Amino acid sequence: MKDRLIFALDVDSYDEARQWVRILADEVGMFKVGKQLFTRCGPQIVDMIRQAGGGVFLDLKYHDIPNTVAKAGIEAARMGVQMFNVHALGGGKMMRTMVDEVREAAVKEGFPVPITLAVTILTSSSEEDLRQVGIDLPVTQMVPRLATLARESGLHGVVASAQELPLIRQACGGDFVVVTPGVRPATAARDDQQRVMTPGEAIAAGSDYLVVGRPISKADDPVLAARSIVAEMTEAGA
């Protein structure tokens, strides 16, 4: 079950990232590298994690013209990341182009195709936030709509709140990968997340991977915190 736990490596230096990788490499399945860390450190941060035996979820949420996103996806795959994501709001053409060109490059160059994911609606977004940018449909309609578009475009899955999991499963089936951020143990603060579940609730609802950051990094004993989350996941998945 620990392979399904992803630690959010939301730090601002290479040395701090390396320290967390050393602490948690045996406790989690992947490390999420986001915009802050990748902008600071670049591909070397991915190399460091992989050399330590860890997997990488490259969380850069590509959203641009189809050709640009496709080329970025190829470079992500060349780095050897296990998964990366794009914004579903970029549209079907953008996602299909990326999927096709990554697969073509993988065949030509002999690298594995990562798990490709689409971000539906950020877990920090409220419906009022969506209305401010012109999206009048509720989250419960937008998420399965975007998930279906991602599936039809050839992506492996989505990043979405566990609270929308039943809607995604109904729309896309049980073999569609769902990566769930915004996971908080019952005793942890919500921080800036709006739509959250506990690790056990998320696994019971059918999440494939959980992304957890501050409940581990801010714990008095991060290793114990990670193990406690894995234990809760295991119990819920039994």
Identified catalytic residue from 64, 71, 100, 129 = 64
Q: Which residue has tokens 């160059």?
A: 109
Q: Give the H/E segment covering residue 69.
A: helix 66-79
Query: What is the CA angle 122-128-129, rounded to 5?
Result: 40
Q: Is 129 in the active site?
A: no
Identified catalytic residue from 2, 26, 35, 59 = 59
Q: In angstroms, rounded to a whole number, what is the distance separating the alpha carbons of residues 61 and 75?
A: 14
Annotated binding residues for substrate: 10, 32, 59-68, 123, 184, 193, 213-214
- State how far Cα 224 lies from the chain centre: 23
Q: Is 136 in the active site?
A: no
Q: In angstroms, rounded to a whole number, what is the distance separating the alpha carbons of residues 76 and 83?
A: 9
- State how far Cα 139 lies from the chain centre: 18
Q: In angstroms, rounded to a whole number, what is the distance separating the alpha carbons of residues 131 and 110?
A: 44
Identified catalytic residue from 2, 15, 26, 61 = 61
Annotated binding residues: 10, 32, 59-68, 123, 184, 193, 213-214
> Minimal CA–CA distance to 47: which of 66, 60, 33?
33
Q: Is 59 in the active site?
A: yes
Residues assigned a catalytic role: 59, 61, 64
